[in-house]
Amino acid sequence: MLSRDSTTTIGWRQNLASLFTGVEREAWIRFLIAIFGLVFAFAAALLSTAAREAGNLIATIVLASSSLLLAGIVGVATVPYLARRVAVRRVRDALNYDVTREGGVYLVFTLLVAIGALNTGNNLLFLVVSAMLGAVLVSGVASAIVLMGIEVGFELPQHVFAKQSYTATVAVKNRRLWVPAFSVSVVPPLRKTVKTQWHWRKSTFTYPKEETGKKPWVRWPDLSLVRIKPSEESAGILRDRVYYPFIPARQTTKTPVQVHFEQRGRVKQDGLSISSRFPFSFLIKTRTVALAREVVVYPPIEQTEDFFEVLPMITGEFETYVRGRGDDLYRIRDYQPEDSARHVDWKSTAKSGTLKVREFTREDERKLRIVFDNPAPGAVKESSYERHIELAASLAWHFAGEQTELMFVAPGYSGSDSIYDFFEYLADVKPATGESVLDNLQVTDDYNLVFTARPRGTVPTNLWQSSYFVFMND
């Protein structure tokens, strides 16, 4: 039991910790270093003044140099770092400016006219320069007004498969009561690219080189300059520009766009950017809109060579397994030792002189259980793994259209018997360590379509009679 004093102390500490949760420690450390550095620089400047009045030249030089050096260190090491975290940066990043080629040429002519005005002192040239600079200012203000009144929406299809094209909808709304919007474009969000960096890394100098196959007889510690390229980010959902020449006031304009995804997985759109060159095309002003969207891209359902190779064998074994318990006659065939005597067709036997049996269908009990035994990392090549995921998705889609009752079993799969839940699992699945689902798979009346990377000899024998196995290592 805690006393009231200890409980109060713990609560006070928790409140204090929550108060400093959002504080950036590094920023505060640099801020305090800057304060102390400026205090010491100011003290050194005062002492240098006192030393100069006292006539001590060496002390004056040393103290004045120290003051300038401390102020320079503070200015270089802390001021730029702190300036990047002030609210003014956020305001500046809300609207990004880029000078167009036309704008660059226009500014060059403005500079030439300004130089001529300064050299000649002609008032008319000063008026021309003022008008030209005013046009640039009006261009920036007008495009900012256009962009600040625009809202963007993005609608996606509910189910998306890889390697197929779909139609999405970009909706742009002009919230102003009277002012229309001109020359507006919706583009993918602007991403700041990281420049290529060079770093020194420890290495070993060998002679002759190990690539030649000869044993090196010289090994010296060495340093090598390595070029590190920036990592490329995913392109997102929207990848093309959508242009709107005119958007009336208080109106919403919707435009269909084509989206295409090559690989399965989850694709996120962190936001969209709205850009405009209105009115003079001197500047491209861009505003980023926070618009979070995510789409689950299912594996492709294509009829590949693997699909056409496996499907006839699965269909044949599946139909053989499901027949025999219904009332509709499927076929009459020769008697086999495992057949029941009650299925013997005596009329056909009398006509042919050999034992014949009747087979019946059970179409109302066509149950197929698709088992995806996810392998461990490194057990299967990446290309083979992706190919079998696509095959599992294609076969599931095929049998779903054949009025077959489907069930799904996979490690970590907690979805329902809906095929789209299984597709979502296949969209996210990756090789993972864990227990194989085949060891605990119960034998039922369902026919099993099993995808596994286990060797054939390790598969439970009780599953062979009611299952078709697709081995990923084959």
SS (H, E, C) 11-35: HHHHHHHHHCCCCCHHHHHHHHHHH
> Taking the CB of residue 426, how many other CB atoms lie within 10 A of it?
20
Residue predicted with more confidence, 113 or 325: 113
User: Residue 213 is encoded by which pair of tokens?
Assistant: 């196959």
pLDDT of residue 311: 84
Residue 419 has phi, psi (to 5 degrees) of: -65, -30
- Name the pLDDT band for 198 (thresholds 50, 70, 90): low
Q: How confident is the model at residue 300 (pLDDT cuts 50, 70, 90)?
A: very high
For residue 188, cis peptide bond before it (omega within 30 degrees of 0): no
Looking at the DSSP bridge assignments, the partners of residue 452 are 471
**Residues 232-273: pLDDT tens digits?**
444 678 888 889 999 898 889 999 999 889 899 998 887 888
Confidence of residue 90 (pLDDT cuts 50, 70, 90): very low
User: In angstroms, what CA-CA distances link 367 with 8, 323, 372, 404, 470?
Assistant: 63, 12, 16, 6, 18
pLDDT at res. 197: 60
Instruction: Return the number of other C-beta atoms located less than 10 Å from residue 67's C-beta.
Output: 21
Residues 6+ apart with CB under 8 A from 447: 317, 318, 321, 322, 367, 368, 369, 466, 467, 468
Most confident of 182-196, 201-215, 263-277: 263-277
Residue 366, classed as helix, strand or coil, is coil
H/E stretch holding 155 reads strand 150-155
Confidence of residue 193 (pLDDT cuts 50, 70, 90): very low
pLDDT, tens digit, 9 for 90 and up, residues 303-329: 888 887 888 888 777 777 765 444 556
How many Å apart are CA 17 and CA 10, to the nearest integer? 10
Mean predicted confidence (pLDDT) in 129-149: 83
Written as six digits, the tokens of 25 are: 């420690």
Average pLDDT score, the chain? 78
pLDDT band, residue 393 (cuts 50/70/90): very high
Interatomic CA distance for residues 209 and 196, integer angstroms: 28
Burial label, 253 (beta-carbon count in 10 A; 0-12, 13-18, 19+): middle
Quote the CA–CA distance of 400 and 398 in Å, as a whole number. Answer: 5
Pairwise CA distance, residues 36 & 244, whole Å: 55
DSSP-derived 3-state class of residue 177 = coil
The residue type found at 90 is R
User: Strand 181-187 to strand 242-247: parallel, antiparallel, or no bridges (unpaired)?
Assistant: antiparallel
Q: What is the pLDDT of residue 232?
A: 41
- pLDDT score of 372 more than 90: yes
- For residue 171, list its beta bridge partners: 153, 254
**Per-residue pLDDT at 196:** 55
Give residue-wise pLDDT tens across range 330-344. 677 787 776 767 677
pLDDT at residue 121 tops 80: no
Helices and strands, number each (H, E), in the chain: 11, 17
